[in-house]
Amino acid sequence: MDFDDLIDRRNTFSSKWDKMEPIYGVPADGGLPMWVADMDFRAPPVVLKRMQQITDHGILAYANNDDEYTAAIQWWMKTRHGWEIDPSWIFTTTGLVNGVAMCLDTFTAPGDGVVLFTPVYHAFAKAIRAAGREVVECPMVNNDNRYEMDFAAYDAMMTGSETALILCSPHNPGGRVWTKEELQGVADFCKRHNLLLISDEIHHDLVYPGHTHIPMPLVDASINDRLVMLTAPSKTFNVAGLHTGNVIIADDALRARFAARMAALSLSGNSVGMFVAASAYSPQGAEWVDALMLYLDGNRKLFDAGIADIPGLKSMPLESTFLSWVDFSGTGMDRAEFTRRVEQEAKIAANHGTSFGTGGEMFLRFNFGTQRARIEDAITRLRAAFADLQ
Protein backbone atom coordinates (compact mmCIF):
# COMPACT_ATOMS: atom_id res chain seq x y z
CA MET A 1 0.00 0.00 0.00
CA ASP A 2 2.41 2.66 -1.16
CA PHE A 3 0.09 5.53 -1.98
CA ASP A 4 3.11 7.82 -2.53
CA ASP A 5 4.43 5.81 -5.49
CA LEU A 6 4.37 8.19 -8.49
CA ILE A 7 2.92 5.80 -11.05
CA ASP A 8 3.19 7.06 -14.65
CA ARG A 9 -0.23 6.59 -16.25
CA ARG A 10 0.56 8.42 -19.48
CA ASN A 11 0.08 6.50 -22.74
CA THR A 12 -1.95 3.76 -21.06
CA PHE A 13 -5.31 4.80 -22.60
CA SER A 14 -6.15 6.47 -19.28
CA SER A 15 -9.12 8.81 -19.75
CA LYS A 16 -7.83 11.11 -17.04
CA TRP A 17 -4.23 11.38 -18.28
CA ASP A 18 -4.43 10.76 -22.01
CA LYS A 19 -7.56 12.81 -22.76
CA MET A 20 -6.47 15.87 -20.78
CA GLU A 21 -4.76 17.46 -23.79
CA PRO A 22 -7.50 16.91 -26.40
CA ILE A 23 -10.27 18.00 -24.01
CA TYR A 24 -8.67 20.77 -21.92
CA GLY A 25 -5.67 21.76 -24.00
CA VAL A 26 -3.52 20.96 -20.95
CA PRO A 27 -0.30 19.37 -22.25
CA ALA A 28 0.18 15.64 -21.68
CA ASP A 29 3.78 16.43 -20.78
CA GLY A 30 3.85 18.54 -17.65
CA GLY A 31 0.09 18.87 -17.23
CA LEU A 32 -1.69 17.73 -14.09
CA PRO A 33 -5.01 15.91 -14.54
CA MET A 34 -7.40 16.55 -11.65
CA TRP A 35 -10.66 15.83 -13.45
CA VAL A 36 -11.97 12.26 -14.09
CA ALA A 37 -12.94 10.71 -10.73
CA ASP A 38 -10.51 7.83 -10.55
CA MET A 39 -7.41 7.68 -8.37
CA ASP A 40 -3.75 7.34 -9.35
CA PHE A 41 -3.30 4.40 -6.97
CA ARG A 42 -2.98 0.71 -7.75
CA ALA A 43 -6.01 -1.37 -6.85
CA PRO A 44 -5.81 -3.19 -3.49
CA PRO A 45 -3.35 -6.13 -3.34
CA VAL A 46 -6.27 -8.53 -2.74
CA VAL A 47 -7.75 -7.43 -6.08
CA LEU A 48 -4.47 -7.66 -7.96
CA LYS A 49 -3.87 -11.13 -6.53
CA ARG A 50 -7.27 -12.25 -7.77
CA MET A 51 -6.55 -10.83 -11.23
CA GLN A 52 -3.20 -12.63 -11.20
CA GLN A 53 -4.87 -15.93 -10.31
CA ILE A 54 -7.28 -15.47 -13.20
CA THR A 55 -4.51 -14.79 -15.72
CA ASP A 56 -2.30 -17.59 -14.32
CA HIS A 57 -5.18 -19.99 -14.80
CA GLY A 58 -5.69 -18.54 -18.26
CA ILE A 59 -9.41 -19.24 -18.49
CA LEU A 60 -11.69 -16.33 -19.34
CA ALA A 61 -14.68 -18.43 -20.28
CA TYR A 62 -18.28 -18.40 -19.01
CA ALA A 63 -18.41 -18.20 -15.23
CA ASN A 64 -21.13 -18.81 -12.72
CA ASN A 65 -19.98 -16.62 -9.86
CA ASP A 66 -23.16 -14.81 -8.82
CA ASP A 67 -23.25 -16.44 -5.39
CA GLU A 68 -19.68 -15.45 -4.49
CA TYR A 69 -20.32 -11.89 -5.69
CA THR A 70 -23.66 -11.37 -3.94
CA ALA A 71 -22.42 -12.95 -0.68
CA ALA A 72 -19.48 -10.52 -0.65
CA ILE A 73 -21.76 -7.51 -1.15
CA GLN A 74 -24.07 -8.80 1.56
CA TRP A 75 -21.10 -9.09 3.94
CA TRP A 76 -19.83 -5.60 3.06
CA MET A 77 -23.19 -3.92 3.52
CA LYS A 78 -23.66 -5.56 6.88
CA THR A 79 -20.18 -5.05 8.32
CA ARG A 80 -19.38 -1.62 6.86
CA HIS A 81 -22.84 -0.04 6.68
CA GLY A 82 -25.04 -1.95 9.13
CA TRP A 83 -27.50 -2.83 6.38
CA GLU A 84 -28.85 -6.39 6.12
CA ILE A 85 -29.68 -7.39 2.58
CA ASP A 86 -30.73 -10.56 0.86
CA PRO A 87 -28.43 -11.69 -1.98
CA SER A 88 -31.46 -12.09 -4.24
CA TRP A 89 -31.97 -8.31 -4.17
CA ILE A 90 -28.75 -7.65 -6.12
CA PHE A 91 -28.36 -7.06 -9.87
CA THR A 92 -25.10 -6.39 -11.67
CA THR A 93 -24.97 -3.63 -14.26
CA THR A 94 -22.25 -2.31 -16.52
CA GLY A 95 -21.10 0.26 -13.99
CA LEU A 96 -23.32 2.54 -11.98
CA VAL A 97 -24.23 5.10 -14.63
CA ASN A 98 -25.61 2.14 -16.52
CA GLY A 99 -27.50 1.22 -13.33
CA VAL A 100 -29.03 4.70 -13.26
CA ALA A 101 -29.93 4.49 -16.95
CA MET A 102 -31.52 1.07 -16.42
CA CYS A 103 -33.66 2.52 -13.62
CA LEU A 104 -34.81 5.38 -15.86
CA ASP A 105 -35.57 2.92 -18.64
CA THR A 106 -37.47 0.52 -16.37
CA PHE A 107 -39.38 2.82 -14.06
CA THR A 108 -40.00 6.05 -15.97
CA ALA A 109 -41.50 6.95 -19.36
CA PRO A 110 -40.32 9.32 -22.11
CA GLY A 111 -41.23 12.89 -21.20
CA ASP A 112 -41.31 12.23 -17.43
CA GLY A 113 -39.55 14.71 -15.17
CA VAL A 114 -36.59 13.41 -13.16
CA VAL A 115 -35.55 15.52 -10.19
CA LEU A 116 -31.92 16.38 -9.40
CA PHE A 117 -30.60 18.43 -6.49
CA THR A 118 -28.04 20.56 -8.30
CA PRO A 119 -25.17 20.97 -8.65
CA VAL A 120 -24.72 17.22 -8.97
CA TYR A 121 -22.67 14.56 -10.78
CA HIS A 122 -22.93 15.49 -14.46
CA ALA A 123 -23.69 12.03 -15.86
CA PHE A 124 -27.16 12.03 -14.27
CA ALA A 125 -28.48 14.87 -16.44
CA LYS A 126 -26.83 13.34 -19.51
CA ALA A 127 -28.50 9.97 -18.84
CA ILE A 128 -31.89 11.61 -18.24
CA ARG A 129 -31.72 13.62 -21.49
CA ALA A 130 -30.36 10.72 -23.51
CA ALA A 131 -33.36 8.66 -22.38
CA GLY A 132 -35.78 11.37 -23.55
CA ARG A 133 -36.78 12.33 -20.00
CA GLU A 134 -36.76 15.88 -18.62
CA VAL A 135 -34.19 17.14 -16.12
CA VAL A 136 -35.97 18.94 -13.27
CA GLU A 137 -33.33 20.95 -11.43
CA CYS A 138 -33.91 21.69 -7.75
CA PRO A 139 -30.96 23.93 -6.85
CA MET A 140 -29.46 23.38 -3.42
CA VAL A 141 -28.86 26.25 -1.05
CA ASN A 142 -25.21 27.12 -0.52
CA ASN A 143 -25.43 28.00 3.15
CA ASP A 144 -22.08 29.36 4.30
CA ASN A 145 -20.12 27.05 1.97
CA ARG A 146 -22.24 23.96 2.69
CA TYR A 147 -25.02 22.54 0.54
CA GLU A 148 -28.47 22.12 2.03
CA MET A 149 -31.85 21.22 0.59
CA ASP A 150 -34.87 23.51 0.61
CA PHE A 151 -37.89 21.21 0.40
CA ALA A 152 -40.47 24.01 0.71
CA ALA A 153 -39.03 25.59 -2.44
CA TYR A 154 -38.88 22.21 -4.22
CA ASP A 155 -42.51 21.44 -3.28
CA ALA A 156 -43.55 24.61 -5.08
CA MET A 157 -41.57 23.61 -8.19
CA MET A 158 -43.22 20.22 -8.73
CA THR A 159 -45.70 20.10 -11.60
CA GLY A 160 -46.98 16.54 -11.26
CA SER A 161 -45.07 15.27 -14.31
CA GLU A 162 -42.10 14.16 -12.17
CA THR A 163 -41.82 10.42 -11.54
CA ALA A 164 -38.32 9.92 -10.13
CA LEU A 165 -35.54 11.59 -8.17
CA ILE A 166 -31.85 10.72 -8.37
CA LEU A 167 -30.10 11.36 -5.07
CA CYS A 168 -26.31 11.46 -4.76
CA SER A 169 -25.48 10.28 -1.23
CA PRO A 170 -22.81 11.15 -0.19
CA HIS A 171 -22.85 14.11 -2.48
CA ASN A 172 -20.62 14.68 -5.51
CA PRO A 173 -19.46 17.45 -5.90
CA GLY A 174 -20.28 19.11 -2.55
CA GLY A 175 -18.89 16.28 -0.42
CA ARG A 176 -21.84 16.30 1.97
CA VAL A 177 -22.66 13.19 3.98
CA TRP A 178 -26.39 13.78 4.40
CA THR A 179 -27.72 13.60 7.95
CA LYS A 180 -30.56 11.34 9.00
CA GLU A 181 -32.90 14.36 9.11
CA GLU A 182 -31.91 15.46 5.61
CA LEU A 183 -32.40 11.94 4.23
CA GLN A 184 -35.76 11.72 5.96
CA GLY A 185 -36.62 14.99 4.22
CA VAL A 186 -35.75 13.39 0.86
CA ALA A 187 -37.86 10.31 1.69
CA ASP A 188 -40.83 12.48 2.68
CA PHE A 189 -40.45 14.61 -0.45
CA CYS A 190 -40.55 11.46 -2.61
CA LYS A 191 -43.66 10.24 -0.80
CA ARG A 192 -45.40 13.62 -1.17
CA HIS A 193 -44.79 13.75 -4.90
CA ASN A 194 -45.00 10.02 -5.62
CA LEU A 195 -41.41 9.78 -6.89
CA LEU A 196 -39.23 6.73 -7.29
CA LEU A 197 -36.04 7.32 -5.29
CA ILE A 198 -32.89 6.27 -7.11
CA SER A 199 -30.24 6.54 -4.40
CA ASP A 200 -26.71 6.57 -5.84
CA GLU A 201 -24.45 5.73 -2.90
CA ILE A 202 -21.26 5.02 -4.86
CA HIS A 203 -19.20 7.25 -2.53
CA HIS A 204 -20.51 5.55 0.65
CA ASP A 205 -17.13 4.14 1.68
CA LEU A 206 -15.15 7.35 1.19
CA VAL A 207 -16.26 9.15 4.34
CA TYR A 208 -13.99 11.23 6.60
CA PRO A 209 -13.78 11.01 10.39
CA GLY A 210 -16.64 12.67 12.22
CA HIS A 211 -19.26 11.70 9.63
CA THR A 212 -21.34 8.58 9.14
CA HIS A 213 -23.05 7.62 5.94
CA ILE A 214 -26.56 6.25 6.44
CA PRO A 215 -27.89 3.94 3.72
CA MET A 216 -31.29 5.17 2.62
CA PRO A 217 -33.22 2.02 3.70
CA LEU A 218 -32.03 2.54 7.27
CA VAL A 219 -33.58 6.00 7.33
CA ASP A 220 -37.13 5.01 6.58
CA ALA A 221 -38.15 1.43 5.82
CA SER A 222 -41.55 2.65 4.63
CA ILE A 223 -40.02 3.91 1.38
CA ASN A 224 -38.74 0.50 0.28
CA ASP A 225 -41.57 0.24 -2.22
CA ARG A 226 -40.19 3.29 -4.07
CA LEU A 227 -36.45 2.82 -3.50
CA VAL A 228 -33.62 1.57 -5.69
CA MET A 229 -30.15 1.53 -4.12
CA LEU A 230 -27.02 1.83 -6.22
CA THR A 231 -23.46 1.09 -5.11
CA ALA A 232 -20.31 -0.08 -6.86
CA PRO A 233 -16.73 -1.05 -6.15
CA SER A 234 -15.54 1.54 -8.74
CA LYS A 235 -14.70 4.47 -6.44
CA THR A 236 -13.95 2.58 -3.22
CA PHE A 237 -11.29 0.30 -4.74
CA ASN A 238 -10.35 2.33 -7.84
CA VAL A 239 -11.61 -0.31 -10.27
CA ALA A 240 -13.94 1.81 -12.44
CA GLY A 241 -12.52 0.24 -15.61
CA LEU A 242 -14.14 -3.05 -14.68
CA HIS A 243 -17.59 -1.47 -15.10
CA THR A 244 -19.40 -3.36 -12.39
CA GLY A 245 -22.32 -1.71 -10.61
CA ASN A 246 -24.58 -3.12 -7.92
CA VAL A 247 -28.29 -2.35 -8.12
CA ILE A 248 -30.05 -3.42 -4.92
CA ILE A 249 -33.84 -3.58 -4.77
CA ALA A 250 -35.61 -4.87 -1.65
CA ASP A 251 -39.16 -4.47 -2.90
CA ASP A 252 -40.55 -7.52 -4.71
CA ALA A 253 -42.66 -5.61 -7.23
CA LEU A 254 -39.90 -3.15 -8.22
CA ARG A 255 -37.39 -5.99 -8.37
CA ALA A 256 -39.61 -8.04 -10.69
CA ARG A 257 -39.91 -5.10 -13.08
CA PHE A 258 -36.14 -4.52 -13.07
CA ALA A 259 -35.44 -8.23 -13.56
CA ALA A 260 -37.82 -8.32 -16.52
CA ARG A 261 -36.05 -5.40 -18.18
CA MET A 262 -32.62 -6.94 -17.61
CA ALA A 263 -33.94 -10.18 -19.13
CA ALA A 264 -35.48 -8.38 -22.10
CA LEU A 265 -32.10 -6.81 -22.86
CA SER A 266 -30.22 -10.04 -22.05
CA LEU A 267 -28.02 -8.18 -19.61
CA SER A 268 -25.79 -10.07 -17.23
CA GLY A 269 -22.70 -9.16 -15.26
CA ASN A 270 -19.09 -9.09 -16.40
CA SER A 271 -17.66 -12.10 -14.58
CA VAL A 272 -14.17 -10.60 -14.19
CA GLY A 273 -15.67 -7.47 -12.63
CA MET A 274 -17.72 -9.68 -10.33
CA PHE A 275 -14.64 -11.73 -9.31
CA VAL A 276 -12.85 -8.49 -8.52
CA ALA A 277 -15.80 -7.10 -6.56
CA ALA A 278 -16.00 -10.32 -4.53
CA SER A 279 -12.31 -10.14 -3.66
CA ALA A 280 -12.49 -6.44 -2.77
CA TYR A 281 -15.55 -6.68 -0.50
CA SER A 282 -13.51 -8.59 2.06
CA PRO A 283 -11.55 -8.01 5.29
CA GLN A 284 -8.39 -7.35 3.23
CA GLY A 285 -10.30 -4.89 1.06
CA ALA A 286 -11.61 -3.18 4.18
CA GLU A 287 -8.09 -2.82 5.57
CA TRP A 288 -6.99 -1.19 2.31
CA VAL A 289 -9.93 1.26 2.35
CA ASP A 290 -9.08 2.26 5.92
CA ALA A 291 -5.49 3.01 4.89
CA LEU A 292 -6.69 4.83 1.77
CA MET A 293 -8.97 7.08 3.82
CA LEU A 294 -6.12 8.09 6.11
CA TYR A 295 -4.06 9.02 3.07
CA LEU A 296 -6.93 10.88 1.37
CA ASP A 297 -7.61 12.75 4.59
CA GLY A 298 -4.01 14.01 4.50
CA ASN A 299 -4.47 15.09 0.88
CA ARG A 300 -7.74 16.80 1.70
CA LYS A 301 -6.15 18.83 4.50
CA LEU A 302 -3.13 19.75 2.39
CA PHE A 303 -5.23 20.78 -0.60
CA ASP A 304 -7.72 22.75 1.52
CA ALA A 305 -4.93 24.58 3.35
CA GLY A 306 -3.29 25.48 0.03
CA ILE A 307 -6.56 26.76 -1.45
CA ALA A 308 -7.37 28.74 1.72
CA ASP A 309 -4.02 30.48 1.28
CA ILE A 310 -4.94 31.90 -2.13
CA PRO A 311 -7.12 35.00 -1.74
CA GLY A 312 -10.41 34.67 -3.59
CA LEU A 313 -10.41 30.84 -3.71
CA LYS A 314 -12.54 28.77 -1.34
CA SER A 315 -12.99 25.00 -1.17
CA MET A 316 -16.11 23.44 0.26
CA PRO A 317 -15.36 21.49 3.46
CA LEU A 318 -15.58 17.85 2.39
CA GLU A 319 -17.22 15.22 4.54
CA SER A 320 -16.68 12.58 1.86
CA THR A 321 -15.12 11.89 -1.59
CA PHE A 322 -11.72 12.82 -3.06
CA LEU A 323 -13.26 15.61 -5.14
CA SER A 324 -12.72 19.17 -3.98
CA TRP A 325 -15.31 21.74 -5.06
CA VAL A 326 -13.58 25.08 -5.34
CA ASP A 327 -15.43 28.39 -5.53
CA PHE A 328 -13.69 31.07 -7.63
CA SER A 329 -16.34 33.77 -7.20
CA GLY A 330 -14.15 35.62 -4.69
CA THR A 331 -11.51 36.29 -7.37
CA GLY A 332 -13.72 38.87 -9.09
CA MET A 333 -12.88 37.14 -12.39
CA ASP A 334 -15.38 35.77 -14.85
CA ARG A 335 -15.56 32.05 -15.55
CA ALA A 336 -13.51 32.24 -18.73
CA GLU A 337 -10.64 33.99 -16.95
CA PHE A 338 -10.30 31.77 -13.86
CA THR A 339 -10.66 28.69 -16.05
CA ARG A 340 -8.00 30.00 -18.44
CA ARG A 341 -5.60 30.55 -15.57
CA VAL A 342 -6.14 27.05 -14.17
CA GLU A 343 -5.82 25.35 -17.55
CA GLN A 344 -3.29 27.48 -19.40
CA GLU A 345 -1.17 28.93 -16.59
CA ALA A 346 -1.33 26.26 -13.86
CA LYS A 347 -1.70 23.56 -16.55
CA ILE A 348 -4.25 21.69 -14.48
CA ALA A 349 -7.31 19.95 -15.93
CA ALA A 350 -10.25 20.27 -13.49
CA ASN A 351 -13.96 19.66 -14.16
CA HIS A 352 -15.95 22.74 -15.12
CA GLY A 353 -18.64 23.52 -12.55
CA THR A 354 -21.20 24.33 -15.25
CA SER A 355 -21.44 20.65 -16.21
CA PHE A 356 -22.90 19.90 -12.74
CA GLY A 357 -25.97 22.08 -13.34
CA THR A 358 -27.35 25.23 -11.76
CA GLY A 359 -25.20 26.50 -8.91
CA GLY A 360 -21.93 25.19 -10.34
CA GLU A 361 -21.13 28.20 -12.54
CA MET A 362 -18.32 29.68 -10.44
CA PHE A 363 -16.74 26.38 -9.38
CA LEU A 364 -14.14 23.94 -10.63
CA ARG A 365 -13.87 20.39 -9.25
CA PHE A 366 -10.39 19.11 -8.39
CA ASN A 367 -9.69 15.40 -7.89
CA PHE A 368 -7.05 14.93 -5.16
CA GLY A 369 -7.03 11.11 -5.33
CA THR A 370 -3.38 11.16 -6.25
CA GLN A 371 0.09 11.13 -4.72
CA ARG A 372 0.74 13.81 -2.12
CA ALA A 373 3.68 15.18 -4.11
CA ARG A 374 1.23 15.97 -6.92
CA ILE A 375 -1.06 17.83 -4.50
CA GLU A 376 1.89 19.96 -3.41
CA ASP A 377 2.68 20.59 -7.07
CA ALA A 378 -0.96 21.55 -7.77
CA ILE A 379 -0.97 24.10 -4.98
CA THR A 380 2.31 25.63 -6.14
CA ARG A 381 0.90 25.96 -9.66
CA LEU A 382 -2.39 27.50 -8.49
CA ARG A 383 -0.59 29.94 -6.21
CA ALA A 384 1.52 31.12 -9.14
CA ALA A 385 -1.47 31.36 -11.50
CA PHE A 386 -3.31 33.62 -9.05
CA ALA A 387 -0.20 35.37 -7.65
CA ASP A 388 -1.54 38.83 -8.50
CA LEU A 389 -4.30 38.32 -5.89
CA GLN A 390 -1.81 37.76 -3.04
90 binds ligand PLP (CB under 6 A): no
101 binds ligand PLP (CB under 6 A): no
* Sole binder of ligand PLP in the list 26, 37, 125, 187 (CB under 6 A): 37
153 three-state secondary structure: helix
Which residues in the 142-181 window bind ligand PLP by CB under 6 A?
168, 172
Q: Which stretch binds ligand PLP (CB under 6 A): 92-100, 274-282, 302-310, 379-387?
A: 92-100
366 binds ligand PLP (CB under 6 A): no
> CB-hemisphere CA count at 13 Å for 65?
20
125 binds ligand PLP (CB under 6 A): no
Interacting residues of 288 by C-beta distance below 8 A, sequence separation 6+: 1, 44, 45, 46, 237
d(CA 66, CA 90): 9
Rank residues 37 and 223 by Cβ distance to ligand PLP and give the closer one: 37
> Rounded to the nearest whole angstrom, what is the least distance from the CB of residue 53 to ligand PLP in the complex?
24
> Rounded to the nearest whole angstrom, what is the least distance from the CB of residue 202 to ligand PLP in the complex?
4
Question: What angle do helix axes 283-308 and 66-81 make, rounded to 10 degrees?
Answer: 50
d(CA 181, CA 83): 18
202 binds ligand PLP (CB under 6 A): yes
CB 293 within 8 A of CB 348: no
118 binds ligand PLP (CB under 6 A): no
d(CA 311, CA 307): 8
Length of the chain: 390
> CB-hemisphere CA count at 13 Å for 239?
29
121 binds ligand PLP (CB under 6 A): yes
359 binds ligand PLP (CB under 6 A): no
User: Per-residue string for binding with ligand PLP, 214-233, x by CB under 6 A?
Assistant: ------------------x-
CB 279 within 8 A of CB 137: no
**Residue whose CB is nearest to ligand PLP in the complex, by number:** 95
Residues that bind ligand PLP (CB under 6 A): 37, 95-97, 121, 168, 172, 200, 202, 232, 234, 240, 245
